[in-house]
Structure 1
Amino acid sequence: MTIEKSRPATAQGMPPLEPITAGPRTAVSAAVARRLFRAAVSRLAVTVVEEPTGDRLGQGGPLMRLHRPDEFYARLGRDGLIGFGEAYLTGAWDADDLAGFLTVPAARMATLVPRPLQRARALVTPRLPSHQRSTEANSQANISHHYDLSNDLFRLFLDETLSYSSALFDTSVQSVPAGPGSVAEHLLATTPEPVDHDDPRRHGPDLAEAQGRKIERMLDQAGVTEGTRVLEIGTGWGELAIRAARRGATVHTITLSVEQLELAEERIAAAGYADRVQVELMDYRALTTTGRTYDAVLSVEMIEAVGHEFWATYFRTIDAVLAPGGRVSIQAITMPHDRMLATRDTHTWITKYIFPGGFLPSVEVVDQITRQQTSLRLVDQLEMGSHYAETLRRWDRRFLAQRPAVLALGFDELFMRVWHFYLAYSQAGFASGYINVSQLTFTREDR
C-alpha cells in the first residue's frame, strides 16, 4: 500500500471548540445536566465550589471550582462527557489536583447516572464518525493525528527509551484467581510507590529501567532469543526492536506513523542494528500478502487503535503469520467487559481530541475471539493498571514542567490544557480501576 506523510487537520491536531448557543433547548438540557451533576456529586468524596455564589457541593475531597457554571452545565447538557472535558478546555472549571479529582467519579462511573437514564442516554450519545473507523482507508490518518504531531514533543515528556506505554516498575507479582473457564495464568503486579525526581523536567532513572523491564518481560514471554524471527505490530520509536535485535533476533516492525518510522530508523542505526531490523510503513492487514512467517509476534498498546469491528481480523492476521511453535505477546489497555459492550461505537472526548477511532477491548472478548476464530490460546496475563497510573503521573508532571519548551515548538495554551486533561484523565482511569492494562501471552493450539 502507498502511505503518504500527512499532518493533523490543524496545527494543534485538534478540532475547534464549538461555542454554546442560547435557546430553549440549551436551557432545558443545561437544567437537566445541573440536576444530574449535583445529585451525582452529592454522593462523591469531592468538593465542588460554584462561583460566584460560593455554593459547596459534595462530601469533601479533591476540589473542583466551577468558574462559569452556566457554561459548564450548558456544555454538559449538550455534549455529555465530551462537554465535561470541553468545559475544562475553555476554563469553565478547574481543579488543583486534576487527576485526583477525576479519579473519584471514575471509580463510580458505571453508577453515577441512574440506570433508567443510562438507557435513555444511549439514544442520544454521539456515535463514532464514519471517517474515524479504523478501515485501511482511515487508519493512517487516525494514527497520524496523534503520533505525527512532533517527535520533539514526545521527547519532552517521555524517558530516554521513548516508550509511550505503561512501564513495569520493580514490585512483587501475585497470582490471583482467573475468570471462569480461563486457562490463563493471571498475575497481578502490585502497586508501585510514587517517586518524584527533584527536577520535574527530568525522570528518575527508575522510569527508564521500568520501561526496559516491561519490554524484556514481553520478549521473554514471546521466547525471543538468538535467531528468532520477530514481527512487531506498532513500532513506536524503536525500543522493542532494538532490544530484540540485541538478543540476536531479526525484526520486522511495522507502523503507520511516518514521524515514528524516521526516528525509529535513526535510533536503530545508532544502536548498530540496522542490518537486523526492517522498519516498514504497513497496515497490519497487509501482512498476509507478504508470505512471511514469524516465530514471535509482539505488539505494545496497538490493539486499542484497531476498532472492535476489526479485532477478529487483527488476531486472524497474527494467527496466519505465526510459524508453528510460535508465541505472541501483546500489551493491551482494556476495560471491563460490560462497559465495553455498553460503549461500543461511542464518540468520546478521547476519540475527538486524542485518539480518533480508538476503542478498548476487554480481556474476555480477546479470549473469546482468539478461541473462536484462531488457533491462538491465552496462557498468561499480567495485570498492571496501577503501574500505568504511576507512568502517566510522571509524564503529566514532566509535560507541565516543560510548558515553555512545548510552546516553543509552536503549540498553544489550549494544546497544553488538552494534553494535561488527557494525561490526568487517563491516570484517573487506571488509578480508579475503570480501565486496566495487561501483558497477554498466547501460544498456538495444534491444528
Structure 2
Amino acid sequence: MTTFKASQSPRQRVGRPQTTGPMTVAQIADAAVDKPLPFHLTAFDGSSTGLADSAIGAHLADHRGLTYVLTAPGDLGLARAYIAGDLEFSGVHPANLYPLLRAMADGLHLRRPALSEMASIARGLGLRALKPIGPPAQEAPPRWRRAIRGLRHSKSRDADAIHRHYDVSNTFYEYVLGPSMAYTCAVYPDQGASLEQAQEAKFKLVFDKLGLHEGERLLDIGCGWGSMVRYAARRGVRALGVTLSAEQAEWAQRAIDEEGLGDLAEVRFQDYRDVSEDGFDAISSIGLTEHIGVANYPSYFTELHQILRPGGRLLNHCITRPENNTAFRTAPFIDRYVFPDGELTGSGRIISIMQDIGFEVRHSENLREHYALTLRDWCHNLERNWEACVAEVGMATAKVWGLYMSASRLAFERNNIQLHQVLAVRPGPHGDSAVPLRPWWSG
C-alpha cells in the first residue's frame, strides 16, 4: 500500500494504488472513491485504507460481507453486511451511528471505477464472490415478492407491513420511546426540553389546533399505542383510535383501562377504512400517511372528509419530501428493513389532494428540526437501554433500529426529508369554516 506523506494532508491517509493484479479490499474501496475514506477501514485480508488516525473505524470481517457490499451497491449492501455482523464499526455505538453517517455524508465522494479496475476486481474476487446471497432474516422481501400478500396498499398487504415494523415488541418500544410511547415527531418548546416534555407539547399542539372541547368526538387514525387518544380523553373528549397493529391495540387498551379512561377512550385493532362511525368533530392522523401510498391519497382523504362533520377539523401529520416531483418510493434500506411499501411526497401534493377532495387548508408548518431532535433522543434511549433491547429483540434487529434512526436524524437535519402538519377543515354548506380570524394555538 502506498502512504501519502503527511505534508499532503493534515491527516495520514492511504492513496489509491496502481495495480494490475488482483485487488485487495482496501484497493477496491479506493477505486470507488475520489477522496480518501473519512474513517479508517480495515479488512479480513489484512489491507487498510482511509484516515489512519480517525476516531471512527470500520472493519470488513469476511468474504460474505464483501459479497453483500458488491452485489447490492449503496445503502442496502452496506446495511446487509452491518446487520449480518460482517461489517463492524468502532468509535461509535450501534445505537447511535450518527457521527459515522455524518462523516460519510460530508466526506465520502463516490466515483465509478474504471473498466480496468472493475476487471481487476472481478479477476481477484472470482464470479462466486459476485453471486448474490441471501440477506439477513430481518430483511423484507422485494416489492415484487410482496405481491403474494395482495396489491400494494391492499388491506392484507398493509396489515403485513405494519405487523413487520410495529409488532416487534412492546417492551422494546417502551425502552426506545420512553413513557410517552409516542412514535412520532415531538415538538420541542426549546433546545433544553426533554423528550417527554416535547411529546406532551406535540399532543397539546394537535389538540389545540383541532380546537377540541370536552364532550366532542375525536378519531385518531393510526393511533399507535394510544397516546393521543389518552391525552384527549383526560380532557373530557370522547376519543377513538384505530391501528393495524394488534400488539399496539392491546397495549393501548390496557393503558386506557389502567388510567380509568374506559368511558371516554377506545383503541381498536382495525383498518381506518372499516370505521363505521361518522360525524366526528375532529380527526388526527399522526404518522399514518407515509404508509397508505400516494396513489391512495384521494380515497384516503375522501374517506376522512365523509366521516367528519361539517365544520370539523383534520390534522394530518406526516413525513414529507422537500419537493413534489420526485419518485414516491423510499430508499432500498428503509423499504426492506424499516417501512415496507412506504411512500413519501411533498407537502404541496398532499395539500393539493386535500383541497381537491373538498377540504379547506387553514395552516401548514414544517417541523423537520423537531424530528431530528426526537430521533436524537430515541437513539439516546436505545443506547442507554442497549443490553435490555438486544435481549428483547436480538442484536440484528437492535442494529437495524440504531442505523435507521441515526440515518433519519441526519436526513431531517440536511433537509432531505421533512415533517409537515397540515390543518384543514370541512367547510359547512355555505362555506363556514368555524375557525377564529387568527391562529388560536401556541407552540
In the superposition, the TM-score normalised over structure 2's length comes to 0.74
Cα displacement (A) at 1:298: 0.2
Task: Select between 291-300 and 86-95 the one with higher mean Cα deviation.
Answer: 86-95
Show the counterpart of 2:398. Answer: 416
Letter in 2 for 1:53: S
Structure 1 CA distance for aligned equivalents of residues 352 and 346 of structure 2: 10
Compute the RMSD of aligned alpha carbons: 3.2
8 Å contact 1:334–1:361 — kept in the other structure? yes
Cα deviation digits, residues 123-168 of structure 1 (max 9, x gap): xxx7564348221121111111121121111111222111111111
Cα displacement (A) at 1:69: 8.8
Structure 2 CA distance for aligned equivalents of residues 292 and 76 of structure 1: 51
Cα displacement (A) at 1:217: 0.3
Show the counterpart of 1:406. Answer: 389
Structure 1 unpaired stretches of 5+ = 1-26, 115-125, 172-191, 194-204
Matched, 1:391 2:379: no
Cα displacement (A) at 1:312: 1.9
Give the 3 Å change call, closer, same or farther, for CA 384–347 of structure 1 in structure 2: closer
Instruction: Count how many residue pairs are aligned between Structure 1 and Structure 2.
Output: 367
Matched, 1:294 2:288: no
Give the 3 Å change call, closer, same or farther, for CA 257–61 of structure 1 in structure 2: same
Cα deviation digits, residues 393-430 of structure 1 (max 9, x gap): 22122212323322433x32222222221221222222
8 Å contact 1:134–1:142 — kept in the other structure? no
Cα displacement (A) at 1:308: 2.0
Residue of 165, 179, 193 corresponding to 1:146: 165
Cα deviation digits, residues 215-252 of structure 1 (max 9, x gap): 11001111111122111101211111111112221112
Show the counterpart of 1:65. Answer: 58
8 Å contact 1:252–1:279 — kept in the other structure? yes
SS in 2 for 1:341: coil
Show the counterpart of 2:179. Answer: 160
Residue of 332, 356, 359 corresponding to 2:318: 332
Structure 1 CA distance for aligned equivalents of residues 70 and 298 of structure 2: 36
Structure 1 CA distance for aligned equivalents of residues 239 and 111 of structure 2: 48
Matched, 1:94 2:89: yes
Structure 1 CA distance for aligned equivalents of residues 77 and 171 of structure 2: 30
Cα displacement (A) at 1:432: 2.0
Matched, 1:317 2:303: yes
Show the counterpart of 1:359. Answer: 343
Cα displacement (A) at 1:301: 0.8
Structure 1 CA distance for aligned equivalents of residues 181 and 425 of structure 2: 29
Structure 2 CA distance for aligned equivalents of residues 243 and 435 of structure 1: 28
Task: Report 1 or 2 for greater relative contact order, CA contacts < 8 Å, sequence distance ≥ 6.
Answer: 1
Task: Select between 209-218 and 414-423 the one with higher mean Cα deviation.
Answer: 414-423
Show the counterpart of 2:333. Answer: 349
8 Å contact 1:107–1:432 — kept in the other structure? no
Show the counterpart of 1:75. Answer: 68
Q: Which has the larger radius of gyration?
A: 2
In the superposition, the TM-score normalised over structure 1's length comes to 0.73
Matched, 1:233 2:252: no
Cα displacement (A) at 1:87: 2.1
Any residues of structure 2 matched to 1:47-196 within 5 Å, and which?
A: 47-51=39-43, 52-56=46-50, 63-68=56-61, 74-80=67-73, 81-89=75-83, 90-94=85-89, 96-97=91-92, 98-105=97-104, 129-130=146-147, 131=149, 133-171=152-190, 192=191
Show the counterpart of 1:427. Answer: 409
